[in-house]
Amino acid sequence: MRVRRAPDVVIRRLPLYLRVLENIDIDKHGPSISSYELGDAAGVTPDQVRKDLSLFGEFGKQGVGYEIDTLRQELRRVLNLDCVIRVAIIGAGSLGIALARYLQGRRRAESNYHLDMVAVFDKDPAKIGLEIDGVRVLPMELLKSKVRELGVRMAVVAVPAASAQEVVDACVDAGIDGILNFAPAKLAVPSHVRLHNSDLSLELMHLAYYLCGAPGENTRTARDSQAEG
Amino acid sequence: MRVRRAPDVVIRRLPLYLRVLENIDIDKHGPSISSYELGDAAGVTPDQVRKDLSLFGEFGKQGVGYEIDTLRQELRRVLNLDCVIRVAIIGAGSLGIALARYLQGRRRAESNYHLDMVAVFDKDPAKIGLEIDGVRVLPMELLKSKVRELGVRMAVVAVPAASAQEVVDACVDAGIDGILNFAPAKLAVPSHVRLHNSDLSLELMHLAYYLCGAPGENTRTARDSQAEG
C-alpha cells in the first residue's frame, strides 16, 4: 500500500488532511467524509484530494466518500505517526524556547498529538538546568546518550547559523534521521538523513512577491490563490 | 519582463537564489556566476536554475553565466524587495518575541536585509510597552493608525488559534496585504490579500514521513533527496 516515491508536494498535504480528520468527532459527524468536505477544510480542491489519496490505496467509495476512521489510521501509518515520535530541540535561545513551549502546549491541548518534545539541549553552561515547561535543558555532551535513552527520532535545530553544521553533525552522530533546521545556513547531511529547512526570511521574501504595489502605484496585481503549508 | 503567473514552486526558489547572490562579494568572485555554481549554493540543479530564471527574462549568456549584479537587481524587483518592506508582528507571546528578535538580529547582521520589523502588537495590557530589541509592544487598538503611519506592508501572526481570525481581520482592515500566519488554524482572507501559513506541527509531520523504521524494523527506506525551503 505504501508508495515509496510519492511526490513531496503530495506528502506535504497529507498532514493537512490528517489534521482535519483528527478534529472530527465521528459521533456527531457520521463515519464518512466526502472529498469536497475534506478538501474544503484542508484548503485543497476535491480533485486534488482524490488524486493525492489514490496514491496510497483505494480508500474512497463513489457516493459515500472516505471512511474517516480508516483514512485516519492509514494516514497516520503512511506518515509514521502511528506511534508518538519523540523530538529534541537543540538550542535554548529565544526561538528554541518558543518552539519548545509551542510543542508542549499542543501536546497538552490535543490528546492524540503525535509529537512528544522530550529534551532540549544547549552548549551554553548558563542555560543547562533551566526548565522549559517541565523539560530541562541538557548539555550537548549528553546528546548521544539521551537520544538513545529517550528514543528521540527527530531534532529541531534552533541555533545560530555559525554553529548549525556542528550541531547537525552531532545529531546525525547520535542517530537522529529527521532534522528540521531553523538556522539560515546551508547544511550537509548524509543521504540516509532527511533535512528540512524552515527560514522565516525566505518565507517573508516569498510572501513579498505577492504584495500589491505601493498605494497609488498600481503596476502589480495581487494574486487570488491562497497557499497553504 | 514580469511574469504574472509564475508557478508558486518557482517563486519559492527565487529567495534562495537571491540569498546566494547577496552573499557574493563581486570584487573577490568576479561579475558572473554559472547556473552550476548558483544551483549548487542554492541546493537546486543547474537545469532548474536555468528554467526558473528564464521565466523572468534572458539573463544568462552561454559560456559566461549570469551577471550577478543584474540578476540580483532583477530578483529584488520581481520579489518586490527593491525597497525595504516594513513588517509588524502580532502577538508578543514567546513565539512572537522570538520572531521579533530573529528579524532584528538579521537586520543588524546584514546591511542589505530587506525586512524591517517596525512594530509588535498585543491585546494583553500587561504586555503593552514592553520593549523587544528596541521595538515597543503596542495595543491592538493602534494597529490601523500605526500601520499607516509606519508604512507596514506585511504582518506575522503569532497568536493562539482561537484569536487568529480576529487578528487577521484586523490586519486586513488596516490595509495589510501579506500575512504569514503561525497559528494552527484555517483562516479566511479576501482575495486581494495573500495568506501563507507556517505550522511547526505540519512541518514535523511532513518530516516524519521520511523517518526510517525503528531500529531493527527495516520496512521503510529513507529518501535520499533533500528538500529546501
| DSSP string computed for B131-155 | EETTEEEEEGGGHHHHHHHHTEEEE
Q: Is the ipTM of this complex over 0.85?
A: no
The model's confidence at residue A184, banded by pLDDT at 50, 70 and 90, is: confident
Cα dist. A176→A190, A200, B12, B61, B229 in Å?
11, 24, 28, 43, 20
Say if the Cβ atoms of A227 and B103 lie within 8 Å. no
Q: What is the pLDDT of residues B67-85, one digit of tens each?
A: 999 999 999 999 988 888 9
Q: In 10 A of CB A167, how many CB atoms?
A: 24
Q: Does A139 lie at the interface with B, CB-CB under 8 angstroms?
A: no
Full set of structural domains in chain A with CATH: 8-78 (1.10.10.10), 85-200 (3.40.50.720)
Q: What is the pLDDT of residues A15-27, one digit of tens each?
A: 999 989 988 999 9
**Partners of residue B193 in chain A, C-beta under 8 Å:** 222
Determine the 3-state secondary structure of A176 from DSSP: coil
Say if the Cβ atoms of B98 and A98 lie within 8 Å. yes
Q: Check pLDDT > 70 for residue B43.
A: yes
**Partners of residue B203 in chain A, C-beta under 8 Å:** 180, 196, 198
The answer to whether residues A207 and B194 touch, using CB atoms and an 8 Å cutoff, is yes
DSSP string, A96-156: HHHHHHHHHHHHHH-TT--EEEEEEEES-TTTTT-EETTEEEEEGGGHHHHHHHHTEEEEE
pTM: 0.78
Q: Check pLDDT > 50 for residue B223.
A: no
How far apart CA A93 and CA A95 sit, in angstroms, is 6
Cα dist. B33→A180, A187, B13, B21 in Å?
30, 21, 17, 9
By C-alpha distance, which of A155, A80, A68, A70 is closest to A114? Answer: A80
The answer to whether residues B92 and B137 touch, using CB atoms and an 8 Å cutoff, is yes
How far apart CA A119 and CA A136 sit, in angstroms, is 7
The pLDDT value recorded for residue A14 is 94
Q: Check pLDDT > 50 for residue B217.
A: no
| Facing B205 at nearest CB: one of A2, A15, A179 | A15
DSSP single-letter state for residue A50: H
Most confident among A29-43, A139-153, B1-15 (mean pLDDT): A139-153
Q: Crossing angle for the helix pair B8-22 and B46-54, nearest 10 degrees?
A: 110
DSSP string, A69-90: HHHHHHHHHHTT-SSPEEEEEE
Q: What is the pLDDT of residues B141-188, one digit of tens each?
A: 999 999 999 999 999 999 998 999 999 999 999 999 999 999 988 899
Q: What is the CA radius of gyration of chain A?
A: 20
The model's confidence at residue A106, banded by pLDDT at 50, 70 and 90, is: confident
Most confident among A4-13, A166-175, B40-49, B194-203 (mean pLDDT): A166-175
Q: Check pLDDT > 70 for residue A117.
A: yes
